[in-house]
Chain A
């Protein structure tokens, strides 16, 4: 579904990603681990189309409707409409815009793009209530301004609510587990598992092996200094938990 080849990315002339290769097929779950500052969030933001990052080399190919397209040709909102999603490591607060009005606007923008019928406020309300149930969220978050004064954990859960509403094809979840309490982690992981299907793919960025007990990855990648230094199966996460990243540096 997504193929990243030899991806080099800079911010203001400073290279951050230095040749990333990654292939994600439909139905797969991937995990990316790695030390702070190694470039994991950068990779996710580049996929989402963040304007601060400049791709200096390499390609990102995305397959949609049996066609391969160059993802970098698309604006961030076009990527989103074609099913690319990133749960932010640091979700942004947007004052004045209620969670519900935001979700409805985003949902309908995607519907329009895909030629599906838009939902009016009443139908959307019903749809939204199914989704908040899935994540055991309180209704009160719906009428509050988007992420404003949400706690760290509430913001993370709200990201997954957005994923549940927008039903993307490929989702990068950037440290969604950080900041969630143990019960919240279980609930959110169960929610993600329900959203998982053979037609979509999930890439988890995490520091903790614990998450991977709940959402079991098919592949685990270790990113070090802007490159994927090691790829393995779920056992690799255990090794990292045990030994840290130092042994990979030496390799």
Chain B
């Protein structure tokens, strides 16, 4: 069996302007890492588990998932084109080398990594931390630590890296891991279950409203390395948490794979609000490089009157394949999906949601805003499924597409499966265009380019931005404006 190689990774930082246009997060960080050899086999999986000192049940979970994955074919049903991925050319583990016994807290983390997060606007050091938001910073495969642990602990909230959770709360992990997204769910979920390295775990006890917003910031740095993180959030009866997720990666000519799994669970009267601003590197103008973002996100409203709400701003990645979904099991439970997906250059996105109505009087709402520019392809794909026992289920869907220029395309694939005739389902869809004449019209009234684009974007996306926590929505608007500026006019 091969052994993990230890090496110092040195790379030339690629000028972000040269390569990636406006992508200001395209830099790389020089850090000493511990990398596994490329490729995937049982040995690698055992090694990952061993490296992380995992209990037996974890190794078993991984091995079962791996054996199942080997029987599966890479899916190509989405409205996406990508070459067959060589899974043996990917590295499944890369970790920043730790000091003797690893950083005890974020303040001991490699200063280069700290600097990286600061450049990304995520201050992790004690003095500079964001107030009101606890951050888990994940650098390549490994969590660098979590801020504000003390405040959360006082409230009984557990928020830590997945690996820490496996060590400290194995009973919770064993109970909930794979309970919403089983490893048999799909190709990428199986792969993730086999090799996932880290991610975040949140547990909100009964009756507690998390005193802080929780957030995880994912950063891919290492080359040829896949990022396979896993997030699990459990909200006990009558609890509430708002969770944010952000992502960036360096600008590189090679594609990199990101295959994450997120599982959310709400008990009676609990609520989870999950927001994402995804800004992975999306490749250059000609479609070279960028992240393949194949993500399985699903929540389960286990208890009656519980609620799960997904809000996503998808602005990056060369390819996005992602359908944050809700299983509405508890009676009177509510599922929501608010999405803005922007594609430019040669990006491809196939994203949407699934709302599975199981319980009685369940409600779901879908608001999706696609913006396609340049030569990109942007598809909404959604399923509303109403099971026979779901009396009086209701769904409202609104899927709008906006085209910028005339070389891009937008598609809408709404699927309905209704097995109970008391259901009420409403679907609206529009397609509109932004063109140079509109920008000129707005400019001729005194708005500069930035103001004009901002007005257009704000107007178009306001139903989604409204759902984001304030600082996030400001960020998201800026991000979209920046991405659009090159494409409009």
What residues make up the interface of A, taking CB atoms closer than 8 Å to B? 48-51, 75-77, 79-81, 85-86, 88, 91-98, 101-102, 105-107, 109-110, 113, 145, 162, 166
- B446-A110 in contact (CB<8A): yes
Cβ contacts A to B, 8 pairs, < 8 Å: A49-B444, A77-B449, A81-B446, A101-B455, A105-B455, A109-B446, A166-B445, A166-B446
Whether the pair A97, B456 counts as a contact (CB closer than 8 A) is yes
Query: Is there contact, CB below 8 Å, between B441 and A105?
Result: no
Tell me, in angstroms, the Cα distance from A91 to B440 when the chains sit together.
Answer: 11
- Nearest CB on A from B368, distance (A): 14
Cross-chain contact B432 with A95 (CB below 8 angstroms):
yes
B456 to chain A, nearest CB (A): 6
Instruction: Point out the residues of chain A lying under 8 angstroms from B460, CB to CB.
Output: 95-97
B432 to chain A, nearest CB (A): 4
B447 an interface residue at 8 Å Cβ cutoff? yes
Size category, B interface: 20 to 34
Give complex CA distance A80, B440 in Å.
11
Interface: B437 (CB within 8 A): yes
Q: Given known contacts A96-B456, A96-B460, A101-B455, is B441 in contact with A109 (CB within 8 Å)?
A: no
Q: A94-B441, A96-B459, A97-B456 are in contact. Are A113 and B436 (CB under 8 A)?
A: no
Q: How far is the CA of A109 from the CA of B443 in the complex (A)?
A: 10
Is B50 an interface position by the 8 A CB rule? no
8 Å CB contact of B443 from A77, A97, A101, A113: A77
* Contact between A106 and B437, CB atoms less than 8 A apart: no
In the complex, what residues of B have CB within 8 A of residue A97's CB? 455-456, 459-460
When the two chains form the complex, which single residue of A81, A93, A101, A106 contacts B459, counting CB atoms closer than 8 Å?
A101
Cα distance A113–B448 when bound, in Å? 11
Indicate whether B451 reaches chain A with its CB closer than 8 angstroms: yes
CA A227 to CA B440, docked complex, whole Å: 25
Chain A residues whose CB sits within 8 angstroms of the CB of B436 once the complex forms: 51
How far is it, in angstroms, between the C-alpha of A109 and the C-alpha of B442 when the chains are bound?
11
The listed residue (A51, A106, A113) touching B445 by CB distance below 8 A is A106
Looking at the assembled complex, report how far the CB atom of A247 sits from the nearest CB atom of chain B, in whole angstroms.
36
Contact among B402, B447, B489 for A109, CB-based, below 8 A: B447
Taken residue by residue from 421 to 458, chain B's Cβ proximity to chain A (1 for < 8 Å, 0 otherwise) reads as 00000000010100011101111111111011001101
A77 and B438 within 8 A (CB): no
Q: Give the distance in Å from the alpha carbon of A94 to the alpha carbon of B436 in the complex.
A: 11
Contacts of A77 in B (CB 8 A): 443-449, 451-452
A103: nearest chain-B partner, CB-CB:
B445
Q: Is the CB of A75 within 8 A of B432?
A: no
**Is A91 touching B441 in the complex (CB atoms < 8 A)?**
yes
Contacts of B442 in A (CB 8 A): 94, 102, 106
The SS class assigned to the B binding surface is helix
Could you tell me the distance in whole angstroms from the C-beta of A245 to the nearest C-beta in chain B?
A: 29
Residues 71-94 of B at the A interface (beta carbon under 8 Å) = none
Residues of A within 8 A of B449 (CB): 77
Asked if B446 and A92 make an inter-chain contact with CB atoms under 8 angstroms apart, the answer reads no
Q: Max chain B CB contacts within 10 Å: which of A101, A107, A109?
A: A109
A88 to B451, CA, bound (A): 20
Residues of A within 8 A of B452 (CB): 77
Which of A50, A75, A98, A162 has the most C-beta atoms of chain B within 10 angstroms of its own C-beta?
A50
**Centre residue among B437, B446, B458 by max chain A CB count within 10 A:** B446
Q: A105-B451, A109-B451 are in contact. Are A145 and B459 (CB under 8 A)?
A: yes
Decide if A86 touches B444 in the complex (CB within 8 Å). yes
CA distance A93 to B456 in the complex (A): 12
B295 to chain A, nearest CB (A): 28
- Residues from chain B with a CB closer than 8 A to the CB of A107 are 446
- Find chain A residues with CB under 8 A from B443 CB: 49, 75-77, 80
- 3 shortest interchain CB distances as A-B pairs: A96-B459, A96-B460, A97-B459
* 8 Å CB contact of A92 from B430, B438, B458, B459: B438
**A106 in contact with B447 (CB, 8 Å):** yes
User: Which residues of B are found within 8 Å of A105, using beta-carbon distances?
Assistant: 447, 451, 455
Q: Quick one: closest B residue to A147, CB to CB?
A: B441
Complex contacts, A101 vs chain B, CB 8 Å:
455, 458-459
Q: How far is the CA of A196 from the CA of B445 in the complex (A)?
A: 19
Taking a contact as CB atoms under 8 Å apart, the answer to whether B459 and A80 are in contact is no
B432 nearest in chain A by CB position: A95
Which residues from chain B contact A106 at a C-beta distance below 8 Å? 442, 445-447
Give the residue among A86, A96, A105 with the most B Cβ atoms within 10 A: A96
Residues on A with C-beta less than 8 A from B430 are 95
CB of A62 to closest CB in B, whole Å? 15
Q: How close is B434's CB to chain A, nearest CB, in angstroms? A: 8
Q: Tell me the complex Cα distance, A165–B447, Å.
A: 14
Q: Which of B445, B448, B451, B455 contacts A75 (CB 8 A)?
A: B448
Residues of chain A within 8 A (CB-CB) of B447 are 77, 105-106, 109
Known: A95-B460, A97-B455. A109 touches B444 (CB 8 A): no
Complex interface: chain B residues within 8 A of A98 (CB): 459
Interface pair A48/B455, CB less than 8 Å apart: no
* Contact across chains for A96 and B432 when beta carbons are under 8 A apart: yes
Contact residues in A for B489 (Cβ distance below 8 Å): 51
Task: Report chain B residues within 8 Å CB of A96.
Answer: 402, 432, 456, 459-460
Are A94 and B438 also in contact (CB < 8 A) when A81-B446, A106-B446 are?
Answer: yes
Q: How far is the CA of A75 from the CA of B489 in the complex (A)?
A: 13
Nearest-Cβ distance from residue B152 to partner chain A, whole angstroms = 38
Decide: B446 and A80 in contact? CB cutoff 8 A: yes
CA distance A113 to B438 in the complex (A): 22
On whether the beta carbons of B456 and A80 are closer than 8 Å, the reply is no
Chain A residues contacting B440 (CB-CB under 8 Å) are 50-51, 76, 92
